[in-house]
């Protein structure tokens, strides 16, 4: 199980990753190293706003309908996303239409018109998107957890922005955002799928005329990790909570250990939390443990929703299961977790979009790509003792954070469970 990718850098500084795959489709993905953590408090949400606006008309296709039709007319799909650390734009299309996909990404990202009339309409769309997230307790509690963990930093601000910011954003703000951050030296272009010998030349011709010098810096965060409880009272039926703690940066030597720790704890339907809380007790419909890592920090979090009358029980068991990860972990648990990761990796390698994201994000955030063999070797090298030791260290060095969205309002009662 391996893929060979070719890396090159265009004269304007744009990094390119080419990954041939035996598929009839091809994915073109342009990742830009700017996200919500790079924004000021007053312009929080601008990265996401800009991502919405690029499809509202370009020099070549001046209306939203014209933009949409270019990909719809050949049966392709396109979209964009914004995270704390990067913004991404992608097209997946039949490999015979690769020239169109490259042109589409170039036009929408570098030559968007950002029309004022569309900006006003999209402002309303984003404000409704904010309401939608707040009305979804599973999403809302997670957003509030991140806000709690990184409360004193830009990482704690919502990716989508606050309504008061969105209402004040102007076209000039978007143009300045484009000119400041959207430079080739701050980007990675990945093309994965059915490539041919002309792909490299084609990329050079499409993207050669873009860019100027880039000298902005990405600030790191300093945390005063005090842990604690954040309670958001909401008139809903369930008790939704996130329980977690801060970990470490994306390229930390223990990153594979942390991934396996999270998986054994609550990463799938064979995990300890799923078995103890859902299968044995029927306390929850959903419960899941996961990790998120940035270039300078990260966190481990358990997410769940339960009956309000059994909330204390669910939290106590979750805390207990995390603490038990410092004790015995069987060879079978670890072996099955490793096979799970390798199996999911194998499935993802069948999808050109997944492959483009895998190599593109590595190069953008870490400055280099990892081979599939390197990833598997990192996973295989982990021992049960390492998982136990890492759990002990994380619990010793960090305070637990508990975030709750529920109709209950007794913060002190839940604080006793995690302090």
Task: Write out pLDDT tens, residues 88-111.
Answer: 999 999 999 999 999 999 999 999
Exposure on the CB side of residue 71, measured as CA atoms within 13 A: 22
Domain count, the chain: 2
Q: What is the pLDDT of residues 185-198, one digit of tens each?
A: 999 999 999 998 89
Position 18 confidence tier, pLDDT thresholds 50, 70, 90: very high
Tell me if 215 is assigned to some domain.
no
On average, the pLDDT of the chain sits at: 95
Measuring CA to CA, which residue among 215, 162, 188, 147 is closest to residue 44? 162
Domain range holding 65?
6-207
- Judge if 283 and 347 occupy the same domain: yes
Q: What's 112's DSSP letter?
A: B
**Are residues 128 and 170 located together in one domain of the fold?**
yes
Q: How large is the C-alpha radius of gyration of the chain?
A: 23
What gap in Å lies between CA 212 and CA 185, rounded to an integer? Answer: 8
Residues 195 and 246 in one domain: no
Q: What is the pLDDT of residue 220?
A: 80
Q: What is the pLDDT of residue 119?
A: 98
Query: Within a domain: residue 147?
Result: yes
Query: What is the CA 378 to chain-centroid distance, rounded?
Result: 22
190 closest CA partner among 88, 118, 341? 88
Asked whether residue 241 carries a pLDDT value surpassing 90, the answer given is: yes
pLDDT tens digit string along 58-72? 999 999 999 999 999
Residue among 149, 391, 316, 158 nearest 246 (CA):
149
Q: Looking at the structure, do residues 243 and 140 belong to the same domain, yes or no?
A: no
Domain final position from 153, 177, 207: 207
How far is the C-alpha of 290 from the C-alpha of 303, rounded, in Å? 8
CA distances to 14, 55, 134, 196 from 95, rounded to whole Å, are: 22, 22, 40, 9
Residue 223 lies in a domain: no
Catalytic residue among 24, 39, 51, 374: 51
- Answer yes or no: do 414 and 326 share one domain: yes
SS3 46: helix
Long-range contacts: 393-399, Cβ < 8 Å, 24+?
394/245, 394/247, 394/300, 395/245, 395/322, 395/323, 395/326, 398/225, 398/227, 398/245, 398/246, 398/247, 399/225, 399/226, 399/227, 399/228, 399/245
Interacting residues of 72 by C-beta distance below 8 A, sequence separation 6+: none
Cβ-Cβ contacts under 8 Å for 126 (sequence gap 6 or more): 45, 48, 49, 52, 160, 161, 166
DSSP state of 10: -
For residue 52, tell me if it sits in a domain: yes
Residue 51 catalytic?
Answer: yes
- Element at 229 (helix H, strand E): strand 228-233
pLDDT at 210 over 80: no
Question: Does one domain contain both 233 and 187?
Answer: no
Whether residue 222 lies inside any domain: the answer is: no
- pTM attached to this predicted model: 0.95
**Cβ distance 156 to 401 under 8 Å?**
no
Do 165 and 69 share a domain, yes or no? yes
Asked if residue 218 belongs to a domain, the reply is: no
Same domain flag for 50 and 156: yes
Out of 173, 207, 241, a domain closes at: 207
What's the CATH code of the domain at 407? 3.30.830.10
Provide the pLDDT for residue 1: 58
Is 260 within a domain? yes
Residues 184 and 286 in one domain: no
Closest CA to 107 of 28, 164, 220, 43: 28
Residues 131 and 237 grouped into a single domain: no
Dmax over Cα atoms in the chain, in whole Å?
65
Give the number of other CB atoms < 10 A from CB of residue 374: 10
CA nearest to 302, candidates 328, 320, 329: 320
- 391 and 257 part of one domain: yes
Domain annotation covers residue 221: no
Domain-terminating residue out of 207, 237, 265: 207
Residues 273 and 179 in one domain: no
């Amino acid at each position: 199980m391996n893929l060979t990718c070719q890396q090159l850098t265009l004269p304007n500084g744009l990094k390119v990753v080419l990954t041939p795959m035996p598929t009839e489709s091809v994915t073109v993905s342009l990742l830009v190293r700017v996200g919500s953590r790079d924004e000021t408090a007053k312009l929080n949400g601008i990265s996401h706003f800009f991502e919405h606006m690029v499809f509202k008309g370009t020099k070549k296709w001046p209306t939203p309908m014209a933009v949409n039709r270019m990909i719809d007319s050949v049966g392709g799909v396109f979209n964009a996303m914004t995270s704390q650390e990067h913004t991404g734009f992608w097209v997946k299309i039949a490999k015979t239409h690769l020239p169109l996909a490259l042109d589409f990404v170039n036009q929408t990202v570098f030559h968007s018109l950002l029309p004022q009339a569309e900006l006003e309409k999209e402002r309303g769309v984003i404000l409704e998107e904010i309401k939608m997230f707040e009305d979804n307790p599973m999403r809302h509690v997670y957003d509030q957890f991140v806000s709690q963990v990184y409360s004193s930093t830009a990482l704690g601000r919502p990716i989508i922005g606050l309504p008061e910011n969105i209402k004040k954003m102007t076209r000039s703000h978007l143009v300045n955002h484009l000119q400041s951050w959207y430079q080739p030296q701050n980007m990675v272009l990945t093309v994965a799928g059915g490539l041919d010998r002309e792909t490299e030349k084609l990329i050079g011709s499409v993207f050669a005329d873009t860019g100027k010098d880039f000298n902005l810096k990405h600030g790191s965060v300093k945390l005063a990790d005090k842990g604690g409880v954040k309670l958001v009272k909401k008139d809903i039926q369930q008790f939704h909570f996130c329980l977690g703690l801060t970990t470490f940066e994306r390229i930390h030597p223990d990153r594979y250990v942390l991934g396996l720790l999270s998986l054994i704890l609550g990463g799938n339907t064979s995990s300890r939390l799923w078995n103890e809380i859902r299968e044995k007790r029927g306390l929850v419909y959903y419960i899941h443990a996961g990790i998120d890592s940035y270039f300078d920090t990260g966190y481990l979090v358990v997410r769940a929703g339960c009956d309000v009358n059994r909330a204390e029980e669910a939290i106590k068991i979750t805390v207990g299961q995390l603490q038990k990860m410092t004790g015995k972990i069987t060879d079978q648990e670890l072996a099955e977790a490793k096979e799970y990761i390798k199996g999911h990796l194998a499935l993802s390698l069948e999808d050109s979009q997944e492959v483009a994201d895998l190599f593109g994000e590595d190069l953008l955030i870490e400055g280099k790509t990892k081979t599939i063999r390197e990833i598997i070797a990192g996973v295989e090298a982990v021992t049960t003792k390492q998982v136990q030791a890492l759990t002990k260290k994380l619990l010793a060095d960090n305070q637990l954070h508990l975030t709750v969205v529920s109709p209950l309002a007794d913060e002190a009662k839940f604080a006793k469970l995690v302090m």
